[in-house]
DNA sequence: ACAAAAGTGTTGACTTTACACCCATGT
DNA sequence: ACATGGGTGTAAAGTCAACACTTTTGT
């Protein structure tokens, strides 16, 4: 059918969409998995050993199974490299479907953002590494763009949600937490103010315990935990909020 | 392959993802197209005339073409109902792929958010209508959830981007604009403060012209326009911003 | 005693809502 | 004149970064 035949379409066109079977494309699910390691935001990537993009680095993931949901699929596939219980957060990012994004054939890809809390060290295959995001190696396909989307999403959500729970271990001191925030945001975060902001927003609470000071002295640090372990919007935008009346 | 064979996967598993052709699923692209009509946020929907979901209302869209990008596809398909030049904004929302979202066969759907400026009235087919979002009719498949996602996305972006340019006509008075914001946000927006906020952020500017007052008198209203007609983040979150130093 | 690290108090800048008041126009 | 709607001034509330100061520990 000629898409210029708008007049005809205007009367009858809308109904034919769910008929026929149409072309089917391969669909894969990928994940940008972040973890903060040694005070740096790192992403889990593996090195491709064969074309296309041989030698470049790629995001983990793979083909969507015939009877799987999208989130279900990426969880399953990540379980082959990251202990699935270690994924503290998972959310969908974007779907890319440029006809030529994969030179070997039309493939759509849905990317997810996954987070692993700091402090654990999942066993990963030999071709797989955690790489610091600021020094991203040459990436296959459009995977670099996906890492960029994930980084922007994480930064934004750190500002108005409790997503820090997914970066931090179950308990932490404020100076540790401020280092996680610094790594993820890319700029300094003062522990003293971060404490007040997150306390006022009800995101964190004191555990009552504290950590002995190190060999160089200093006051012992109080331990905190996040009050919730799932995503919550704690601060709607400070702008254009509804009238208080 | 058994996915419990983690040990094996850890050494060799990562490389087999781009081999083989795997199952292919049908893929469709849908759009949640919003327009503000008579001070109400409306969404473009059409009534299904055949199963599945016969009689329910559905979002416009359809199968992804074999050589089309996703955004390209929804633009083409919307051109059959909305004059494509009238789409002032288009962005990807989410992809849904529950195995049973379409009872007639596995279908993935990528949803877009589209906006049409107020004041125009595109010709639409007979089975297609603009329906107020607060009184959404019974929707087919998971389309109601997509409308919900779109509404949340629009509300959020009104707070920190210039996305108002896509809701408003090229020129407008502040009381008109405040009605568009009220319809989209769902709560009152005072024209007097909206003016200052958007001016300070550099989103809008005066055209220099004004509109004569109506039959009931009143001071003539100044005409404004948006300075940019593409999406810009005008106000990074007021929280956790980088140190000024 | 002194250094080091954690935590508190306080200030100032900025942003936004609320509301009283002034302005320009039609009847 | 007066009603009507547009526009300005200003106050009050809230949030956050900056920084000086205090507390608690190890050497």
Is the domain of B145 the same as that of B172? no
Interface contact flag, A187 B242, Cβ < 8 Å: yes
Whether residue B16 has pLDDT greater than 90? no
Do B13 and A125 form a contact (C-beta atoms < 8 A)?
Answer: yes
Rounded (10°) angle between helices B143-160 and B174-185: 140
Instruction: Please provide the DSSP assignment of A57-70 as one string.
Output: EE-SEEEPPTT--H
As a whole number of angstroms, the distance between CA B84 and CA B87 comes to 6
Helices (DSSP H) in A31-126: which residue ranges? 70-78
Q: Which of B158, B182, B208 is the last residue of a domain?
A: B158
Is the domain of A195 the same as that of A117? no
As a whole number of angstroms, the distance between CA A2 and CA A243 comes to 51
Strand C nucleotides below 7 A of a protein CB?
Answer: 3-9, 15-20, 23-27
Is the domain of B136 the same as that of B171? no
What CATH number should be reported for the domain holding residue B115?
A: 3.90.79.10
Terminal alpha carbon distance of chain A? 56
As a whole number of angstroms, the distance between CA A146 and CA A150 comes to 6
In this structure, of A95-104, B21-30, B134-143, the range with the lowest mean pLDDT score is B21-30
CA dist B33 → A64, A104, B146, B182 (Å): 29, 34, 11, 18
B52 touching chain A per CB within 8 A: yes
* CB within 8 Å of A112: residues ≥ 6 apart: A29, A30, A31, A32, A70, A71, A74, A90, A91, A92, A93
Q: CB-CB: which of B124, B127, B237 is closest to A159?
A: B237
What CATH number should be reported for the domain holding residue A194?
A: 1.10.10.10
As a whole number of angstroms, the distance between CA B243 and CA B222 comes to 38
Q: Which of B110, B137, B158 is the last residue of a domain?
A: B158
Q: What is the pLDDT of residue A155?
A: 92
The distance (Å) linking the CA of A150 with the C1' of C11 is: 37
Whether B48 maps to a domain, the answer reads yes
Is the domain of A145 the same as that of A190? no
Q: Which residue has the higher pLDDT, B16 or B160?
A: B160
Q: Token pair for residue B96?
A: 């849904």
Q: What is the pLDDT of residue A103?
A: 86
A200 touching chain B per CB within 8 A: no
Residue of B nearest to A158 (CA): B240
Whether A79 maps to a domain, the answer reads yes
Q: What is the pLDDT of residue B113?
A: 98
Q: Token pair for residue A230?
A: 């799932």
| Chain B residues near residue A3 by CB distance under 8 angstroms | 76, 79-80
Whether B172 maps to a domain, the answer reads yes
Q: What is the pLDDT of residue A57?
A: 98
Residues 73-112 of A with CB under 8 A from B: 76, 79-81, 92, 94-99, 102, 104-106, 108, 110
Q: How confident is the model at residue B238 (pLDDT cuts 50, 70, 90)?
A: low
Is the domain of B48 the same as that of B83? yes
- Of the CA atoms within 13 Å of residue B133, those in its CB half-sphere come to 26
SS3 B183: helix
Interface contact flag, B15 A49, Cβ < 8 Å: yes
Is the domain of A119 the same as that of A102? yes
Q: How confident is the model at residue B104 (pLDDT cuts 50, 70, 90)?
A: confident
Is the domain of B127 the same as that of B72? yes
Is the domain of A178 the same as that of A144? no
CA distance A41 to chain B (A): 17
Is the domain of A46 the same as that of A148? yes
Burial B114-130 (b: 16+ CB within 10 A, else e): bbbbbeeebebbebbeb
The distance (Å) linking the CA of B197 with the C1' of C8 is: 35
Whether A18 maps to a domain, the answer reads no
Of A80, A143, A89, which Cα lies nearest the Cα of B6?
A80
CA distance B215 to chain A (A): 31
Pairing of strands A128-132, B89-96: unpaired
Whether B129 maps to a domain, the answer reads yes
Q: What is the pLDDT of residue A12?
A: 37
Q: How confident is the model at residue B24 (pLDDT cuts 50, 70, 90)?
A: confident
Is the domain of B77 the same as that of B171? no
| Chain A residues near residue B94 by CB distance under 8 angstroms | 92
As a whole number of angstroms, the distance between CA A42 and CA A61 comes to 17
Is the domain of A136 the same as that of A49? yes
Q: Which residue has the higher pLDDT, B233 or B169?
A: B169
CA distance B210 to chain A (A): 26
Q: Is the CB of A208 under 7 A from strand C?
A: no
Q: How confident is the model at residue B243 (pLDDT cuts 50, 70, 90)?
A: low
The low-confidence residues of chain A, meaning pLDDT below 50, are 1-20
pLDDT in tens, A117-155: 999 999 999 899 999 999 999 999 999 999 999 999 999
| Chain B residues near residue A188 by CB distance under 8 angstroms | 242-243
Whether B239 maps to a domain, the answer reads no
Whether A69 maps to a domain, the answer reads yes
Q: Which residue has the higher pLDDT, B229 or A104?
A: B229
Q: How many distinct structural domains can be found in chain A?
A: 2
Q: Which of B4, B5, B6, B14 to mutate to test the interface with A (most CBs of A within 10 A)?
A: B14
Is the domain of B55 the same as that of B116? yes
Whether B3 maps to a domain, the answer reads no
Do A234 and A198 form a contact (C-beta atoms < 8 A)?
Answer: no
CA dist B27 → A71, B81, B192 (Å): 17, 20, 46
Residue nearest to nucleotide C24 (CA to C1'): B219
Cis peptide bond prior to A44, omega within 30° of 0: no
Whether residue B242 has pLDDT greater than 60? no
| DSSP type of residue A219 | P
| DSSP type of residue B243 | P
Q: Which domain holds residue B215?
A: 166-226
As a whole number of angstroms, the distance between CA A121 and CA A38 comes to 12
The distance (Å) linking the CA of B156 with the C1' of D15 is: 19
């Amino acid at each position: 059918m000629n898409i210029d035949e708008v007049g005809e379409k205007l009367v009858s066109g809308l109904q034919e969409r769910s008929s026929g079977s149409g072309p089917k494309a391969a669909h894969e699910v990928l994940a940008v998995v972040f973890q903060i390691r040694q005070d740096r935001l790192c992403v889990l990537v593996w090195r491709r050993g064969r074309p296309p993009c041989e030698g470049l680095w790629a995001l983990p993931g793979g083909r969507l199974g015939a009877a799987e949901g999208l989130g279900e699929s990426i969880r399953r596939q990540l379980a082959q490299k990251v202990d699935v219980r270690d994924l503290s957060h998972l959310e969908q990012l974007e779907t890319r479907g440029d006809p030529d994004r994969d030179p070997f054939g039309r493939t759509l890809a849905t990317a997810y953002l996954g987070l692993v809390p700091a402090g654990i060290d999942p066993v990963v295959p030999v071709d797989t590494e955690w790489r610091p995001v600021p020094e991203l190696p040459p990436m296959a396909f459009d995977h670099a763009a996906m890492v960029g989307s994930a980084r922007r999403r994480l930064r934004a959500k750190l500002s108005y949600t409790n997503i820090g729970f997914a970066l931090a271990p179950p308990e932490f001191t404020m100076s540790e937490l401020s280092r996680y925030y610094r790594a993820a945001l890319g700029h300094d975060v003062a522990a003293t103010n971060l404490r007040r902001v997150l306390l006022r927003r009800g995101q964190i609470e004191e555990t009552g315990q504290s950590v002995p000071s190190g060999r160089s002295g200093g006051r012992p640090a109080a331990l905190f935990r996040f009050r919730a372990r799932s995503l919550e919007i704690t601060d709607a935008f400070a702008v254009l909020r509804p009238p208080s009346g």
